[in-house]
Amino acid sequence: MSTPPSSAETAVPAGAPHGPDRAKVRAAVRGGTLAYFVDQFDIYLPIVVLAPATAYFQAANLSASTTALLASLVFASTLIGRPLGAVIFGHFADTVGRKRTTLVAVGGFGVTTLLTACMPGHEQIGMWSVGLLIGLRFVDGIFLGGEYTTAVPLAMEWSPKHKRGLYASVITSTSPAAYAVIAALTLLMLELLPATGLHSAYVQWGWRVPFVVGGLLAVVLFRYYLKQVHEPPVQLTGETHKLPLVRLLVKYPRALGQVFVLMTGTWLATNMEAAVTPAQLKAHLMLSSKEVTLTMLVINASAALSYPLFGLLSQRIGRRPFYIGYGLAVVVLGSGAYTLLMTSHGGFGAALGFGVVIGVFTVGTFGPIAAYLTERFPASIRSTGYGVGYSLALIAPAFYQFYLQQFDGVLPAHLAPAVLLVVAGALISLGGFLGPETKDVDMADDRTIPALS
């Protein structure tokens, strides 16, 4: 049992808008924002940066379907590693400390990203090249899963209640912003180093530059947490458990199940937007690599701008009504915009126009997600609950390519993703409906946390 805080410790509430903790609040929120940006920058690297350099890792005689499958496995391996990282690092964050655990996770994915930048290709080691790439991305996913499992709860625990929705949305808006930055960097690299074949400059070494940038960002993040960020407020109450994962599974299975439903829909919609849409823009609408990259930049910049609005909306109307309504918007507007784009044959201009709607109404669930998931679990298991709930749902959506293949002969390949967007939206609404309202909980008092037993 943790020791009750003294009166001196409780004199100033954690994250109060006035008082000696204001600098710590700002440092924690800035740290969480930077951490989420670096995490998302790293996870989207293979989707955008490696797309024009596929020939470097794979044999030239592979079929289009095999090439697409291997590309999806590179992305999926990172996603599959994240739940394992959430369990491992969530345990230490809840038992040892948020800050120290964050430093280990950041150092791990920084090293792994730099190792990826040094990889040999198919010409040097054959199919071991793509196998090694998948393996490194899996290890990278473990550390990435640990990084946001520790950094985001730390930021939310320092945040004042009335600003959690806004601060959460600022943190998560760095996800589409990171995608947009990667797209812009890739556009610049392709302009300077055209990917014209296996031995072109971009395919041989240009793709490495963004990975080096990702490694350097990890160094910056590590130094910031080491120097600026503090452990959460000492007045967090409740028991400390040696096995927080066991505690989560035994005492809060319904809360975890509800979050799992919500996040499964969230990740399924994300994969349709981030991984499938660029492939269909190129394969069906016949856009060039530069046009695809620019379209995805617009899609994700639109999403980034919408996140703070969604965070504020959830703060005003409540998290539960927001997620119920947003899931319905994904079903109607997100899926509808994607379908209209793929059937319009309008080219690059139509892609940019519909892309704005797709960006806003497919991945906006992430706006207040950092606040909602941390509000769902008590402090003693908060990192574990947040990390496992956020990451475990990654696994099923990670195999989106297999689900899409089930529509072969039933729907054209370019329309099948719209069906999965409908499923994603329905799951988001259901997840929101099954959960309680959380926006007014006191993060420092476990008695106010509406985690269902």
More confident residue, 325 or 389: 325
Tokens of 19: 């008082």
Q: Which pLDDT does position 11 carry in this prediction? A: 37
Q: Which pLDDT does position 290 carry in this prediction? A: 81
Tokens of 53: 């350099």
pLDDT at residue 10 tops 70: no
- Window from 120-129, 231-240, 262-271, 316-325 with minimum mean pLDDT: 231-240
pLDDT at residue 240 tops 90: no
pLDDT at residue 322 tops 80: yes
pLDDT at residue 20 tops 60: no
Domains of the chain: 22-228+241-448 (1.20.1250.20)
Output the average pLDDT for the chain.
Answer: 86
Tokens of 132: 């090694």
How confident is the model over 70-79, as pLDDT tens digits?
777 887 888 7
Q: Which pLDDT does position 17 carry in this prediction? A: 40
pLDDT at residue 3 tops 80: no
How confident is the model over 94-121, as pLDDT tens digits?
888 888 899 999 999 999 999 999 999 8
How confident is the model over 44-57, as pLDDT tens digits?
888 788 888 888 88
Mean pLDDT throughout 155-183? 89
Residue 44's Cβ-count burial label (10 Å; 0-12, 13-18, 19+) is buried
Note whether 217 and 38 are within 8 A (CB).
yes
pLDDT at residue 8 tops 80: no
Q: How confident is the model at residue 239 (pLDDT cuts 50, 70, 90)?
A: low
**What distance in Å separates the CA atoms of residue 386 and residue 200, rounded to the nearest whole number?**
44
Q: Which pLDDT does position 14 carry in this prediction? A: 41
Phi-psi region for residue 62, left (φ > 0), alpha (ψ -120 to 50) or beta?
beta
Q: Which pLDDT does position 230 carry in this prediction? A: 85
Note whether 314 and 326 are within 8 A (CB).
no
Mean pLDDT throughout 425-447? 90
Mean pLDDT throughout 411-436? 95
**What distance in Å separates the CA atoms of residue 371 and residue 439, rounded to the nearest whole number?**
8
Mean pLDDT throughout 233-248? 69
Phi-psi region for residue 202, left (φ > 0), alpha (ψ -120 to 50) or beta?
alpha
How confident is the model over 390-399, as pLDDT tens digits?
888 888 898 8
| Angle separating helix axes 382-392 and 244-251, nearest 10 degrees | 70
